[in-house]
Chain A
Amino acid sequence: MNNHYDQDFLIDYLHGALDSATDAALFTHLDACSECRAALDVEAAIGDALRSAARSEALEFPSMIKARVWDAVRRQKPTLLDRLRSPWGPAIAVPIAAVVALAAYFGTPVLRGGGTAPGIAASYYLDQHNAQATQNPLGPSVGPAVYTAEGTPATAASYIDTADAATLDNAQGAIR
C-alpha cells in the first residue's frame, strides 16, 4: 500500500482530535498498514515515555511554597473597597456615611432652612380659608367648621390647636 497517513494525523488520532469520519478511516487503514501502525506506535511510545517520566520524577509540593503564599497574602494591604466588603466594613462605612450626610447638610443652605426657599406665608392660607368658610361653611372644599357653644363660628385659630405660638399670632393677626 502506497498511501500512508501523515505523522500529524497519527498524533491527532492518538489525542482523539480527528473528526469521526477521518478517525474511522484511519482506524481501518491501520488494520491493513503495518508501516502506519509502526509510526503510530512510535508516537504512542513517546507519549507513554513522557507520562512515565513525569510520574517517576513527580516532585512533592514544597511546604515552603505554602508558607510563602500565606506570608505574601498577609503582607498585602487591602484596598478601601476590600475593607468596606469585609465584616468590619460597617465600622468604616457608617462613619463615612455620617460625614457625607453632615457635609451635605451643612454645605447646602436649603437643607438646613438657611436659604430663602420659595413659599407662601401661612397667613395667606388662613385668609383664604376664612373667606371661604364665611361664604359657605358647609362646602366640601372647606375644612371642617368648628362652632362654639354659642353657635357662632370659631376663629381660624381654633383649627390650629397644634400650631406654635408664632404661627398662632400670625393667624390671629391675619384674621383681624
Chain B
Amino acid sequence: MGVPRKPIDPATPEASAFLEQAMDQYGKATYNFAYRLTGNEADARDLAQDAFIRVYRAWRSFQPGTSFLSWIYRIVTNLYRDELRRRKGRYQEEIPEDNAPQEYAGQRPLAVDPIEDYMGGQLGEPLAKALAQLSSEQRQVVVLADIEEYSYQEIADIMGCSIGTVRSRLHRARALLRRLVTRAQQEQR
C-alpha cells in the first residue's frame, strides 16, 4: 500500500488543523490498532507516531467522504510491514491465494470443543497469547476482521492484497487460534 509521499507543507494551517483533528479523534483507535499489531506499547507508540507524521505529509491525498480510520489503518499496516522488513531483512512469503473453502462430507478433521468450554474458561488470556503467536499478516487480518469488524474487501484495501488472500489468512489464523486456545485451556486444567 503505497501512500504517495507528499511534500511537507509546514506553514499550511489546514495541514496542522487536519493533523490535530486526526490525533484527537482517531489517536486512541490508531494507537490501539498499532498495539494489537506490535504486541507492545513501545513499538505501538513509534508506529502511531510515524503514522501521524505520514498523515501530516499526505493529508491532501485523503479523500473526504471516505473512512479516515481505514486510511490510517492502511498507513499503519504499511509502516508496520516496512518495519518488519527492516528488522527481518526479508519479507514473509505470501500465502497462496488459491485456498478457497471446500465443502466436505463426513467427520470434522479437528475436534471442536463445545461453546461452554470456550466461554467458561478465561478465554481472554489464552487468546492474547495465541494472537501473539500468529504471523504478522495473520494477526493483522484477525485484528481487522474480528476486532475492527471490517469486511474482507475493506481489509483487502487496507492491506493492499486480494480478497482471496484475506480469506485464506483469516482461515489459517482462525484455525491456529482454535488450536492454541484449546491447548492453552487444556494446560490450565
Contacts and interface: CB of A to CB of B under 8 A. Distances in A.
B48 A65 contact: yes
Contact of B105 (A4, A15, A46, A56): A4
Interface in B128-146: 128, 131, 142, 145-146
Interface in A79-114: 79, 81-82, 85-88
A95 to B, nearest CB: 18
Contact of A17 (B9, B103, B108, B167): B167
Given A3-B105, A15-B151, A78-B8, A66 B27 contact: yes
Interface in A30-86: 35, 38-39, 41-43, 45-47, 49-54, 56, 58-62, 64-66, 68-69, 72-74, 76, 78-79, 81-82, 85-86
Closest 7 CB pairs of A and B: A8-B101, A61-B27, A86-B11, A49-B123, A41-B115, A61-B28, A53-B124
Contacts of B167: 8, 12, 17
Size category of the A interface is 35 or more
B152 interface: yes
Contacts of A45: 115, 118-119, 123
Contacts of A60: 28
B10 A62 contact: no
A78 B146 contact: no
Given A50-B127, A72-B49, A79-B8, A7 B108 contact: yes
14 contacts: A4-B104, A7-B174, A15-B145, A38-B114, A38-B115, A42-B118, A46-B127, A46-B181, A52-B124, A59-B31, A60-B28, A62-B31, A73-B8, A76-B10
A133 B53 CA distance: 79
- Secondary structure of the A contact surface, majority rule: helix
B52 A69 contact: yes
A54 B147 contact: yes
Interface in A1-26: 2-9, 11-12, 15-17
Given A7-B110, A9-B103, A54-B147, 11 more contacts: A4-B108, A7-B174, A7-B175, A12-B101, A38-B114, A45-B123, A59-B31, A61-B27, A61-B28, A76-B10, A85-B9
Contact of B9 (A16, A41, A86): A86
